[in-house]
Amino acid sequence: MLEIKDLHVKLEEEDKAILKGVNLEVPAGKVHAIMGPNGSGKSTLSYVLSGKGGYVVTGGEAALDGEDLLALEPEERAAAGLFLAFQYPVEIPGVGNMTFMRTAVNAQRKARGQDELSATDFLKEIRAKAKELQIDAEMLKRPVNVGFSGGEKKRNEILQMAMLEPKMCILDETDSGLDVDAMKLVSEGVNALRDAGRAFLVITHYQRLLDHIQPDVVHIMSDGRIVKSGGPDLALDVEKNGYADLLVESA
């Protein structure tokens, strides 16, 4: 599903390399996790894949189902089925959450040659999905993420994911800021979407999330590279011993 080969990325504003040859393959139906120290480049990878400005790809490639992601506009990547749950969801005063979601859902349907959802169908669907994530109707009426608590923002990300039904979902620290119950809700939301045609890349610092969303493979990122990959046990290892030993090993 997602294939990243020797991806090199630097900042646009300064000559600073952030990603220094990332290789990663996430097949359909699988859940991969990325862990790694602060500043190792995890979020940068998620941004570059989804098309955020400010970065320059200096080498390598990234493809979604064989389609060159790096050649597409951000909205085209979304329409192709890529979704990023942001580490820091953006507040947009003046744009209603509902308007935003309806515009997004219909834009993607249009890009894929499907009919737009009628206002009633859209409402029915979003209400049902919001309920599952225990997002109350009031929150849907408010401006996008404005005045939402940290946990509410993260749940709102998962609601968007549930509405858009992407095939490649990247979750960047969706667990941070979530209380125990919210973590369960969010994980259930993610697990409900797991199927043979969909893949997940879960960026996290904690084993806790991976207890709920069981990964098939765990990768460790350090200084702009994937330095180690392994089974779910690798996350347990990190939880217990930190990164120091792992990084020495791989150096």
Ligand X SMILES: Nc1ncnc2c1ncn2[C@@H]1O[C@H](COP(=O)(O)OP(=O)(O)OP(=O)(O)O)[C@@H](O)[C@H]1O
Could you say whether residue 38 binds ligand X (CB under 6 A)? yes
Residues 43, 156, 160, 222: which binds Mg ion (CB under 5 A)?
Answer: 43
Could you say whether residue 59 binds ligand X (CB under 6 A)? no
CA distance 161 to 158: 5
What's the chain's Rg over C-alpha atoms?
Answer: 18
Tell the residue number behind the tokens 């858009």, with chain if given.
Answer: 164
DSSP classification of residue 114: P
Q: What are 17's two structure tokens?
A: 């390399």
Q: Give contact residues for other proteins (rule: CB under 8 A).
A: 50-53, 73-75, 77-79, 84, 86, 89-90, 92-95, 99-100, 103-104, 107-108, 111, 143-144, 160, 164
Q: Between 54 and 231, name the residue whose CB sits nearer to other proteins.
A: 54
CA distance 2 to 43: 16
Element (H, E) at 241: helix 233-241
Residues 4, 22, 24, 40: which binds ligand X (CB under 6 A)?
Answer: 40
Q: Between 111 and 192, name the residue whose CB sits nearer to other proteins.
A: 111
Could you say whether residue 44 binds ligand X (CB under 6 A)? yes
Residue at 94: amino acid letter: G
Q: Between 133 and 203, name the residue whose CB sits nearer to ligand X.
A: 203
Could you say whether residue 51 binds ligand X (CB under 6 A)? no
CA distance 49 to 78: 10
Could you say whether residue 204 binds Mg ion (CB under 5 A)? no
Q: Between 28 and 95, name the residue whose CB sits nearer to other proteins.
A: 95
Say which entry of Mg ion, ligand X, other proteins, none residue 50 contacts (CB below 5 to 8 A, set by partner kind): other proteins
CA distance 107 to 115: 10
Q: Among residues 171, 241, 246, 237, which one has the least CA distance to residue 209?
A: 171
**Which residues are near ligand X by CB under 6 A?**
11, 18, 36, 38-44, 54, 87
